[in-house]
Amino acid sequence: MRWFGRSRRKYRTEWWIMIAGVLIIVLILTMTVFPHVFARFDPNDQDAGGQMTAPSAAHIMGTDNLSRDVWARVVYGARTILGVAIAAALLSAIIGIPLGLLSGFAGGMFDRILSLIMDSVYSFPGLILAIAFAAMLGPGVINITLAVAVVYIPTYFRLVRGQTLSIKEEVYVEAARAIGARRGTILSRYVFPNVIATVVVVLSLNIADAIMTEAALSYIGLGLPAGIPDWGMDLSMGKKFLPSGVWWMITFPGLMIMLLALGFTMLGEGLAEILNPRLLER
C-alpha cells in the first residue's frame, strides 16, 4: 500500500473531490436500495396530498399535478436512472474492452477495419445515435439500456486499444513472448491489469455521461412508459406548469440529475489524478 500513502500526500484536493463524489454516490445508492427509508409515500400514490402544493413540512419537495409526492418520485426515480446508466456502461465495457484488447493485440487488417468502424461511430454525436436506437427499439427499460450502451462501446474500444498498443511494445511483454508465453496469457497477465486502472476511471465518467443521456431520452419522450418514476420524464411533465408558478416539479428532478452526474464525475476525475502518476511510474 506504499503508493497509497505517497499519493495522498501529493494530491490532497483530488482526494477530497473523489471522496465527495463517493459520498454522493453512496447516498443515492442507499436511496435506490432502501427507498422506503427515505420516502414516506409511494411514488404512484395519487392521493398523497393536495394537487400541486408547494414544498412544505409534509412534502419537502411539494406535490405534482396528480397529487403525487415529488420527493417520493425523486427517491424511486433514482433506481431507474442509476440502474439504466450503470447497466448501459457495464454493457458497453463488456463489449468494448475485449474488442479493444483483441484489436490492439492482433493488429493488421482486422484492427484497421474495426478501428475505422469504431472511429466513425465515435465521432458521430452520441445522443443522436441513442435517439435513433431508442426510437427504433421502442419504450422499455431494456431497450433504453441498449440504446445508451451502443453509444459508448467505441469509447472503451479506443481506450483499451490505445493502451494495448502502447503496452504491447513494453519490454516486459517482449520478454514474456521470448520465454514462450501464449497470447492469451500475455493478454490476461500483463496487458489487462495495466489497462484496468484507466478503465475504472473511464467507467466512472462514462456512467455520468450515461445518466445524462438517459435523462435526455426520457425528457424527449423516447424512454420509459408512463408509470415508472423517472427524473427526465417528470421534468418534461413539470414543464407545462412552470408559467403557473409551479417551480418545484422541474427544479428537484433537474437538481438530482446534476448531482448524480456530478458525483460520478468527481469520482472519475479524482481517480484519474490519483492513479495516473502511478501508471506513469511504471
Partner 1 sequence: MKRISALFLVLGFALSVSSVWAQSTLVYGTTDKVTDMDPASAYDFHTWEIFQNVSSGLMAYTPGTTNLVPALATGYTINAAGDEYTFKLRKGVKFSNGTPFTASVVKWNIDRVAKLNGDPAALVTQYVKSVDVVDDYTVKFVLTGPLSYLPALVATPTYFPMDPSVYPVDKIAKDVGELTGGEIVALGPYRLTSFKRDEEAIFEANPNYWGKEPGIKKIIIRYFADATTMRLALEKGEIDLAFKSMNPSDVNDLMKSGKFNAVKIPGPQIRYLCFETSESVFTNKALRQAVAALINRPEINQKVYLGQNAPLYSMIPMGMSYHTDDFKTAWGDGNVAAAEKILKGLGYTKDKPFTFDLWYTPSHYGDPEVNMAEVLKAQLEKTPLVRTTIKSAEWATYKQQFNNKQMPAYFLGWYPDYIDPDDYTSPFAQTEGSKGNGIFFSSKVWDDLFIQEQQTTKDAVRNSTFAKMQKMWTDEVMTAPIYQGNLYVFSKKNVSGVKIGPTLIFNYDQLKLAK
Partner 2 sequence: MRHLASYILTRFLLAIPMVFIMLTIVFVVLRVMPGDPVNAMLGGHAPQKVIDKKKEELGLNKPIAAQYVDYLGKLARFDLGDSMIFKQKVSQPIIEKLPATIELTLFGLLVSLGLGIPLGASAARRRRSGGDFGIRLYANVVYCIPVFWMGLLLQLIFGIFLGWFPISGRTSPRLEVSSFSKTGFYIIDTLRIGNIGAFGDVMWHLVLPAFTLGIVLSGIFVRLTRANMLDVLKSDYILAARARGIPERRVVYNHGLRNALIPIVTMLGLQFSLLLAGAILTESTFSWPGMGRLLLERIYLRDYPTIQGVIVVYTLVVSAMSLLVDLLYAAIDPRVKY
Chain residues in the site for partner 1 (CB under 8 A): 44, 46, 51-52, 65-67, 139, 221, 225-227, 237, 239-244, 246
Number of continuous H segments (helices) and E segments (strands) in the chain: 12, 0
Could you tell me the smallest distance in angstroms from the CB atom of residue 244 to partner 2? 10
What one-character-per-residue DSSP string does 117-182 give?
A: HHHHHHHS-HHHHHHHHHHHH-SSHHHHHHHHHHHHHHHHHHHHHHHHHHHHTSHHHHHHHHTT--
Q: List, in sequence order, the alpha helices (H) in the chain.
A: 2-10, 12-33, 35-38, 70-106, 108-123, 126-137, 141-168, 171-178, 183-185, 192-220, 231-238, 248-281
User: Is residue 142 a contact residue for partner 2 (CB under 8 A)?
Assistant: no
Size of site (CB under 8 A) for partner 2: 41
Grid cell for residue 129: 445515435
Q: Are 144 and 224 in contact (CB under 8 A)?
A: yes
Distance CA 133, CA 147 (A): 5
When asked if residue 110 is in the footprint of partner 2 (CB under 8 A), the reply is no
Of 59-67, 74-82, 129-137, 271-279, the segment contacting partner 2 by CB under 8 A is 129-137
- Out of 26, 94, 196, 242, name the contact with partner 2 by CB under 8 A: 242
Contact set for partner 2, span 184-223 (CB under 8 A): 208, 212, 215-216, 219-220, 222
Pick 193 or 221: Cβ nearer partner 2:
221
Closest to partner 1 by CB, 104 or 229: 229
Our CB check for partner 1 shows the closer of 108 and 243 to be 243
**Toward partner 2, which CB reaches closer, 41 or 156?**
156
Return the residue of 50, 107, 138, 193 that touches partner 2, per CB under 8 A.
138
Residue 269's binding partner, choosing from partner 1, partner 2, none, with beta-carbon cut-off 5 to 8 A by kind? partner 2
Cα-flanking dihedrals φ and ψ of residue 57, to 5°? -60, -40
Q: Which stretch binds partner 2 (CB under 8 A): 28-36, 46-54, 112-120, 155-163?
A: 112-120
Give the residues across from 69 on adjacent strands.
63
- Which residue in the block uniquely carries the three cell numbers 419537495? 61
- Burial of 280 by CB count in 10 Å (0-12 exposed, 13-18 middle, 19+ buried)? exposed
C-alpha cell at 273: 489524478
Nearest distance from residue 242's CB to partner 2, in Å?
6
Within a 10 A sphere around the Cβ of 34, how many other Cβ atoms?
11
Which residues form the interface with partner 2 (CB under 8 A)?
13, 116-117, 119-121, 123-128, 131-133, 135-136, 138, 208, 212, 215-216, 219-220, 222, 232, 235-236, 239, 242-243, 247, 250, 254, 257-258, 261-262, 265-266, 269
